[in-house]
Structure 1
């Protein structure tokens, strides 16, 4: 009887030790406990630009400057990665932003993507700051953006683009001539204007 009791105690102790070892291993822990992902705050500034014109100068520098100041700017090639849906990502960034910065360059209006972004900013009634980079407002107009290709609802799109463009041209903006202006001063003044608009939209 005594021997049987000792055997039972030893067996129970062994089971407890095995159970303790199991729970001390990461792969034995319950798998229903999951970490909750931290939501990413929306971008507060959307920078619309024609990549070949200003990606490596004004738009890129402005993005970096705002980032250093603690803001969350959106610039397509900086914030998008392989696999992202272009229209979905951009539309969401525009919808959620507080301020839209439109960098008008001489060939801005040749891009249907740029005009689409501008139109969305106007349609969403966002605060818009136009920057006229090496171009005057009077020189901007919507032409044949599809190069003669027949596109469904093309006429309607061109009318919407033209209306958005005219509205943006009537907003007090910033002018910068890259051959005469001072980059550091302009970036500072542009950032100040953007930050002021962000604070007013909060």
Structure 2
């Protein structure tokens, strides 16, 4: 566990990502920049052991966990006034806002879930897409 940050929480920043496509490029550079500024940062994907094959069941569990995590982030933003800066990497913010395109395709994996839970996840996706964030396609 990291030491308490200046905000009173264990971490100032929570980096949530999945996949090799960003681990050694965008995410690692962002993490390093935050560390240089003494910003206590948690990287969510550090829990997966390198070289281990990820089953489709685990991928679904990770995706579900990420949606629950996003929902909790939005709730904390509202309750505690936390700043949330979404980074859209390889996806258009409008796809997140409207749960369409690749985001919509991935979301359809959860069609058998509780409708109330699905609606709350869609709301969280829409809210995060409406925040002022960073579309990485702009800087490529």
TM (norm. structure 1) is 0.47
The aligned counterpart of 1:192 is none
- In 2: Cα distance, 1:123 partner to 1:51 partner: 26
Give the Å deviation of 1:52. 4.1
The aligned counterpart of 2:88 is 132
Q: CA RMSD in A?
A: 2.7
**Contact 1:111-1:145 within 8 A present in 2 as well:** no
Question: Equivalent of 1:122, from 58, 74, 83?
Answer: 74
Runs of 4+ in 1 over 4 A off after TM superposition: none
Aligned with 1:74: secondary structure? strand
**Contact 2:11-2:42 within 8 A present in 1 as well:** yes
- In 2: Cα distance, 1:76 partner to 1:176 partner: 20
Is residue 171 of structure 1 aligned with residue 131 of structure 2?
A: yes
Aligned with 1:144: secondary structure? helix
- In 1: Cα distance, 2:121 partner to 2:21 partner: 20
The aligned counterpart of 1:59 is 27
CA pair 112-56 structure 1, distance change in 2 beyond 3 A: farther
Is residue 144 of structure 1 aligned with residue 108 of structure 2?
A: yes
- In 1: Cα distance, 2:119 partner to 2:24 partner: 31
Give the Å deviation of 1:53. 4.2
Aligned with 2:87: secondary structure? strand
How many residues matched? 110
Aligned with 1:129: secondary structure? coil
TM (norm. structure 2) is 0.65
Q: Highest Rg: 1 or 2?
A: 1
